[in-house]
Amino acid sequence: MTAPSVEPSVDHAEAIEAMLRAGTAHEVHMGAPEVPDDELTYPHYIVWPPPATPGLQRLAGDGGDVWTRTQITCVALTPLDVIGAADRARRALHRRRPTIAGRLCGDIEQDPEASVAPPVPDPTPRSTDGRQVYTTALLFLLHSSPLTL
C-alpha cells in the first residue's frame, strides 16, 4: 500500500484536473493558462485549487483527513458555450470518486451552497480574432483521508 502524500491539497487539485481532462474535450489549465493567449482554445477550464482544510479536530492531533473547495472557471466565446462547458465539467466531476494513491476519497460534489452566476464578459482577454471572452465559475467539494498502513 502506498503511503499518503504530505500534500493532499496538491493531490486533490491534480485529481480534479485529470478527471476534467478525461471527461471533457477541452483544455484544462491549473491556476492560469500555460500557453500564450493567442494559442488558447475555447472553451477551456481553469482549475483554481485551494489549500486543504482539516476535516476533523481531534484531541490526539491531525488525523490527516482534508476538504478542498476547488473553483473551476469555464471560459468560452459565447454565453451558451460557457454554460455548455459548465454542464460538461459537472458531468465529469459531480458524484465521481477520484483515485489518489494512499488516500481514500469521497465523491466530488458540486457545492450546493455556492450560487452559480450566469456567464459574464471578462473585460481583459480577447480571442485571437478580437472576440469577447465569457466566464462562469463552479465550486466542487472533495474530502479524502489517509489510508491506514
How big is the chain, counted in residues?
149
Model pLDDT for residues 103-130, shown as the tens digit of each residue: 999 999 999 888 888 999 988 777 888 8
Query: Which domains does the chain carry?
Result: 8-146 (3.30.2000.10)
pLDDT tens, position by position, 18-34: 999 999 999 999 999 98
Q: What is the pLDDT of residue 9?
A: 95
- Label residue 55 exposed, middle or buried (CB < 10 Å: 0-12, 13-18, 19+): middle
What is the reported pLDDT for 113?
86
What is the pTM (predicted TM-score) of this model?
Answer: 0.89
What's the CA gap between 124 and 110, in Å, rounded?
28
* pLDDT at position 147: 87
CB 77 within 8 A of CB 122: no
Q: What is the pLDDT of residue 24?
A: 97
Query: Bigger pLDDT: 2 or 123?
Result: 123
Q: What is the pLDDT of residues 43-97, one digit of tens each?
A: 999 999 999 998 766 656 667 899 999 999 999 999 999 999 999 999 999 999 9
| pLDDT at residue 4 is higher than 90 | no
